[in-house]
Amino acid sequence: MCARWVRTSAHQFIPASLPPSATLALIAVFAGTALVVFDTGAADQQSAAATAAVSAPVASSEEPDPRDERERAIAKRLQLSPMGGEISWIGTEQEKFLAIYREGQRAELHGGIIINIASGAIVDNIPAHRTLAQTAAAAGWGVLSIQQPLTNSTGAKPNDAEPDSRSVARLDAAVRYMVSLGIENLVIVGAAYGAVVAMRWIIDRPSPAIRGFVGLGAWSASLDGTDIPVLDVVGTRDQKAMVQQTQRTAKFRKRTPPIEVLLIDGAGPAFYGYEDLLAKRIRGWLERAAPGVSKTR
C-alpha cells in the first residue's frame, strides 16, 4: 500500500420501524451495496456556528427522544461496540441528533475535528471514518463524529446534490458545540455528500475557528469564497472521485493556498483495507496545515 501526494497550483437505508430485539440487524445501503450491521458488534460489511454564537447547543449523554427513532437504535448498537468514545445528543432548533465525541488523549489538545458523513449513512459505520477518529484522538485532537439525517430511500444522496436544511443545521450545531468546549482550531472532514454540505457551510458561515477542510471520495462543490487549506483525498479505484478531483484541480488551479491532493493507490470509495494509511496521511497533513496552538488541559 502506498500513497502519492500531489500539490497542485491551483448511503444508506434503514427500515422506518425496528423491533426492540437487541440482535436485530440494521439493513443499510451504501453505493448500491447491501450492508448488515448487527447490534452484537459484528464487523461491518460494505463496498463502497460559528465562533460568534451566543449560546452553544445542548449535548447530553442521556438518551432523549430524537426525531428519528432509528438513531436511537443506532446508539444502542454503538453502546455494545468498543468505539472508544462517548455517545451524545446535540440539539438544533428542530431536533436532537446522535453524535460520538472522542476526547484527545494527550495532555496538550491540538484542536478539533468534525467528521461529517453523508445523509443516509450511519455514523462511525465505515472503518475509515472510525479509524481516522481514533487515530486523531490518540494524537491529541478532539473528534466529533455526527449522524446526518437518515433517508427513506435506498442509497445516499448524490454527491453533487444541493445541501438540505437539516444536514446544514446539524453541522452548524456541531461546530458551535466544539467551540463551546473551547476548541479554537477546527478541521471539518466531509465524506461524499457530507463534503458538499461542509463546504457550503464553510462558505456561507465563515468562522475563524475553521482552519482546514478534508474531502473524502467523490464530491462536487465550489471552493469560491474560502481560502482555508483543503486536502482532497481520493482512492485510485474510485473512478468518479478521480474524475471529479481532476476537474476540481483544473478549475481551482490558481487558488491560494493551493489544493493538496492525496491519492491512495488501490483504494476504492470507502478506502477499505487502507484505513491506517489514510489516517496516518491525514494526521500528517493536519500537523502541517492546521497545527493550531497546543493547549495544556
Residue 147 belongs to domain with CATH number: 3.40.50.1820
Q: How confident is the model at residue 290 (pLDDT cuts 50, 70, 90)?
A: confident
* 120 in a structural domain: yes
47 part of a folded domain: no
What pLDDT does 152 receive?
75
pLDDT higher than threshold 90 for residue 55: no
Considering the domain boundaries, does residue 51 fall inside one? no
Decide if pLDDT at 77 tops 50: yes
Q: Could you tell me if residue 53 is inside a domain?
A: no
Domain that holds residue 97: 3-40+58-291
Residue 50 lies in a domain: no
Under the phi-then-psi rule, with left for phi > 0, alpha for psi from -120 to 50, and beta for the rest, what region is 259?
Answer: beta
State the total domains in the chain.
1
Q: Is 111 part of a structural domain of the chain?
A: yes
**65 or 134, which is more confident?**
134
Percentage of the chain modeled with pLDDT above 90: 61
Q: What is the pLDDT of residues 172-183, one digit of tens each?
A: 999 999 999 999
In a domain, 175, yes or no: yes
pLDDT at 188 over 60: yes
- Give the span between the Cα atoms of 68 and 74, in whole angstroms: 11
Q: What is the pLDDT of residues 198-237, one digit of tens each?
A: 999 999 998 999 999 999 999 999 999 999 999 999 999 9
Q: Which grid coordinates are listed for 222?
A: 465550489
67 or 19: whose pLDDT is higher?
Answer: 67
In terms of DSSP bridges, do strands 86-91 and 33-38 run parallel, antiparallel, or are they unpaired? unpaired
Q: What is the full DSSP assignment across 78-119?
A: HHTS---SEEEEEE-SS-EEEEEEE---SSEE-EEEEEE--T
Say if residues 143 and 102 touch (Cβ distance below 8 Å): yes
Answer whether residue 49 is part of any domain: no
pLDDT at 57 (0 to 100): 61
Residue 65: pLDDT over 80: no
What is the model's pLDDT at position 163? 79
Give pLDDT, residue 109.
85
pLDDT for 217: 97
The average pLDDT across 81-100 equals 90
What pTM was estimated for this model as a whole?
0.78
More confident residue, 155 or 269: 269
67 vs 274: which has the higher pLDDT: 274
Report the mean per-residue pLDDT for the chain.
79
- Classify 148 in phi/psi space as left (phi over 0), alpha (psi -120 to 50) or beta: beta
For residues 36 and 95, what is the distance between their CA atoms, to the nearest angstrom?
A: 27
As a whole number, mean pLDDT of residues 155-180 equals: 82
